[in-house]
Amino acid sequence: MTEIRAACSPGEVRIAVTDHDTLLDAAIWRPGSPDGLEDWHVVRVQKAASALGGAFVLLEDGQSGFLSTRETLIEGALTAARVSRAAQNNKGLRLRRADMPTEAPSAPKLLERGPTPLDELADRYPEAPIFVDDPGIAAKLPVRLRPRLQRCQQAFDGALEADFDSLGSSDADLGLLTASFFPTPALVAVDLDSTGTPDFKGNVAAFPELARQIRLRNLSGTILVDPAGVKTRKRPALVAFLREALSDDPLKPDVLGATPSGLLELTRPRRRPPLHELLSSPQGLALSLLRTILREERPGQTLTTSIGLIKALESDPEALADFTSRRARPLDLILDPNAPPASWSLS
């Protein structure tokens, strides 16, 4: 039976779609700082960039983005747009043209939020019940989804916690092979390896699990896969098998072929940030420490940590308020300018 399970903690909802013990999809939703995908805005044109195929624009909150369009835009003018790619990989928002509202505002304005990651997965699995462990999440969901909600004490059991946590690792077990993921600003490199003697069939057998890991981790952009133990001249024959393994991916990756050096090249559309960015960002680390304090019932009221984590916590007052409500006492934040980025202590 397919289920959507939403584990709620201060500032964050971790979402897992499961079929019995198999993890089918995963996502992270941060209600206090949404990624903005498909948000509808009125934006101001800052600078036309026809050579790049659009213009740089300014949003209501002061954030900037790039609007892709072939139309000529006048600098300083207002226009409507929707976010087509969330900020990620050190790149800002990408937007596309949209219809102006009937009553157009006189300044940049957010008109409507796009669907949340939970909305998106609920639409992808329309028959799946949605198990949540926090009644407050219901108020943040569209009315149409509320009949599918089912309350539970704990959305993630120990096995699901471990499966979800493993997605933050740079390695994955593919059965006969292992995969090591190396994200860079330009692309994601995937190295396949084996402690045994890998061969052509072993790579083919590993491709379905590799495709699942790419989807669960939401890896996107250009992805290069280095097969294990297959001679360069034979690697083009692997392309059809990798394409078949990726055929069920809702983002429809495009397997381009094998490079002259024998790397399998594919592209996967960038929409929401990849999971590793969400987990390793200052905000991801900050929300993780709040979850750790609650789960382990750690005593203490003064949190001493780095400037990055302090800024991340202060930028999400909704998360701090939820934490205080769950713990029944506030948290005092103390900055340690010499603390490593991810270190913290509670006293």
Cα–Cα dist 89/82, whole Å: 20
Cα–Cα dist 160/26, whole Å: 11
| DSSP 3-state of 235 | helix
Residue type, 121: L
| pLDDT reading at 291 higher than 90 | yes
Q: How many residues does the chain have?
A: 347
Q: Which tokens in the block code for residue 227?
A: 């097969």
Distances (CA, A) of 217 to 25, 29, 166, 168, 279: 9, 14, 10, 8, 11
| pLDDT reading at 286 higher than 90 | yes
Q: Residue 250 has what pLDDT?
A: 96
Mean pLDDT score across all residues of the chain: 95
Q: What is the pTM of this model?
A: 0.94
Q: What is the mean pLDDT of residues 298-305?
A: 92
- CATH architecture classification, 39-112: Beta Barrel (2.40)
Percent of the chain surpassing pLDDT 70: 100
Cα–Cα dist 166/172, whole Å: 8
Note every long-range contact of 132-139, with CB atoms under 8 Å and residues 24 or more positions apart, other chains counting. Answer: 132/6, 132/8, 133/6, 133/7, 133/8, 134/8, 136/8, 136/322, 137/6, 137/8, 137/13
Q: pLDDT band at 100, cuts 50/70/90? A: very high
Q: What is the mean pLDDT of residues 112-118?
A: 96
| pLDDT reading at 195 higher than 80 | no
Q: Residue 5 has what pLDDT?
A: 97
Cα–Cα dist 145/6, whole Å: 13
Q: Residue 226 has what pLDDT?
A: 98
Q: What is the mean pLDDT of residues 229-246?
A: 97
Q: What is the mean pLDDT of residues 259-269?
A: 97
